[in-house]
Amino acid sequence: MAEDKKETKKITIEDLPGVGEATAEKLRENGFDDIMTLAVASPKDLSDLAGIAEGSAIKIIASARKFADVGNFETGEQILERRKDVTKLSTGSKNLDNLLGGGLETQSITEFFGEFGSGKTQIMHQLAVNCTRPLEEGGFNSDVLIIDTENTFRPERIIQMSKFRGADPDEVLKRIHVARAYNSHHQILLAERASEMAKEFPIRLLIVDSLTSHFRSEYMGRGSLSERQQLLNRHMHDLLKFSTINNSVIAVTNQVSARPDVFFGDPTAPIGGNIVGHTATFRVYLRKSKGGKRIARLIDSPYLPEGETVVQISEDGVTDGV
């Protein structure tokens, strides 16, 4: 049995019946580069994107499903046991912490979405600072990884926020590891690399700011939508896996344009497709208000009531502003 498992790990897409070298190449070029991706693909996507007959696509998917290591069922008891390790990271604002049931949960993905300037990046900086703080202060006393796709990480902001919290800015900066992601593939690779880093030292917070910007600009137009969603889906699952293995918080941002007509009717509608919304456990919609205030609204939480609260963004960072 143990040997079987080892065998399974080594299987590549060429091992699937009906996948020769040429087909494998087409599949790889279009992002279907491992058994798991094929196992969860739809026949239509596979045939449209990789240009293979739908009949063959159905067969390829069926055999990939047999080989894929899809994970096991867990009992409710096992899940409860794992969830006992869940801890919460403070946002710096009591209001926002309360809205989230005490802070950002480990073993989950929390998405902050809103228009440009709504404070997403400021909140990411604050979370990074807080994570390095001791438990008594709502932190995890741990290092942080930031995948920065828009080149908006500013150590100067970390210094300001640290000083306000009475933390030594140099000590905080030493524990925040930032990588610039130059495109979506680079971003995916960095998320994979994060797991290796987490073996060397504890990383209880992984930030992706912004989760969607590269995907959005690289995959424009109808034709590339399903490929984009598929890559994004895989990326989100890598992040979720990281969060459970390392008992860490994943915080991601997602920009949406200001369309009050769309948003106030249904704020969840237009954001990066369904993939992001379905994989993120907590979603917080941010919008600007007067004098550095932001309104945060919790959306679609599995067990917390929907609600809104006000946070303040200032030189000090994220606070209640009182």
Contact residues for Mg ion, defined by CB under 5 A: 120-121, 152
When asked if residue 315 is in the footprint of ligand ADP (CB under 6 A), the reply is: yes
Q: Is residue 287 close enough to count as binding ligand ADP by CB under 6 A?
A: no
Q: Choose between 122 and 142: whose C-beta lies nearer to ligand ADP.
A: 122
Residue 47: CA atoms inside 13 Å, Cβ hemisphere, count? 10
Structure tokens at 23: 């087909």
- Taking the complex as a whole, the smallest distance from the CB of residue 291 to Mg ion amounts, in Å, to 20
The listed partner (ligand ADP, Mg ion, none) that binds 201, CB under 5 to 8 Å by sort, is: none
Residue pair 120/112 in contact by the 8 Å Cβ criterion:
yes
Comparing CA positions, the residue from 115, 117, 8 lying closest to residue 70 is: 8
Nearest Cα neighbor of 283 from 317, 307, 313 is 307
| Nearest-approach distance from CB 121 to Mg ion, in angstroms | 3
Q: Which of 90, 95, 106, 118 binds ligand ADP (CB under 6 A)?
A: 118
Query: Applying CB under 6 A, which part among 129-137, 236-244, 257-265, 308-316 lies near ligand ADP?
Result: 308-316
**Cβ nearer to ligand ADP, comparing 106 with 122:** 122
Question: Distance of CA 18 to CAs 56, 60, 94, 311, 322, Å?
Answer: 7, 7, 57, 56, 65
Task: Count CB-CB contacts under 10 A for residue 315.
Answer: 10
Select from 31, 43, 92, 119 the one that contacts ligand ADP (CB under 6 A): 119
DSSP state of 42: -
Give how many residues touch ligand ADP by CB under 6 A.
12
Tell me which residues touch ligand ADP (CB under 6 A).
114, 116-122, 292, 313-315
